Copies of this chain bind each other. A is one copy, B any other.
Amino acid sequence: MNKARVETFSDGVFAIAITLLVLTIAQPTNYGDLSRQLWDRLPSLAAYVVSFLVIGIMWLNHHSIFGYFERIDRPLVYLNHLLLLTVVFVPYPTGVLGEALRRGEGTQTAAIFYSVTMAVNAYCWAALWLYASSGRRLLHAGFPEEQRRSATLAFNVGPVLYTVAIGVAFISAYAVLALHFVFAAYYAVDPISRRATRASTAE
C-alpha cells in the first residue's frame, strides 16, 4: 500500500466533488426575467457556499489525519473509499436543498436529507480514525498518546453532534445550512486538528 498514491487519489476525488458543486445551481429558465430568476437562486448559492467550505475543510483534515499515519493497510483504504463515497455524494443533497429552498417546497425533507448525508459522513470519519488509531495501529511512533485520546474523543463527539443536527432540520432548513457552516468553521480552527497538522509537518 502506497500512502502517497491513496492521498493523491483522495485529493483528486475531493477536488472533483468540490468543483461539481457548481452544477447543482439550476440554470435560469426565463431570460426575460433574469434578475429575479438569479435572485431566486440565492438559496442554491448559499447551499453551494456551505458545501464548498464543508468539503474544503474535509480535504484539509484528511490531509492532517493522513499525516499522522506511519503506513496504511488495505482495510484503511476501504474505509477511505467509504468516506469518499459520502464526499462524492454531497453535491446531490446540496442541489436538492438549494432547489427546495428556491421553490419553497419540500424544504424540511431536503434539510433532513442534507443533514443525514453529513451525519453518515461523520460516522465514516469516526470509523476511519478509530480503525487507524486503536492500539495505535497505523500511527507514527512520535504521535503523542495524549493527543490520540483527545482526537478519539473529538471523533466520537462528531457523529453525536451531526446526528443531533438532523433534529434542527425539523425547525428550519436555513438553520441547517447555518449549523453546517458553523461546524465547518469549528473544524477549521479546531485546536486538535491544528496541533496535529503541526505534528505531521514537523517530521
Could you tell me which A residues sit within 8 Å of B by CB distance? 1-2, 5, 7-9, 11-23, 25, 27-28, 31-35, 38, 48-49, 52-53, 56, 59-60, 63, 67, 74, 77-78, 81, 84-85, 88-89, 91-92, 95-96, 99-100, 103, 105-106, 109-110, 113, 188-189, 194, 197, 201
Contacts and interface: CB of A to CB of B under 8 A. Distances in A.
A77 B91 CA distance: 22
A52 B13 CA distance: 12
A200 to B, nearest CB: 8
Given A17-B19, A63-B2, A88-B18, A56 B81 contact: yes
Copies of this chain, whole number: 4
A67 B1 CA distance: 10
B34 A60 contact: no
11 contacts: A1-B197, A2-B63, A2-B67, A16-B20, A18-B88, A22-B88, A31-B103, A32-B105, A34-B105, A34-B106, A53-B85
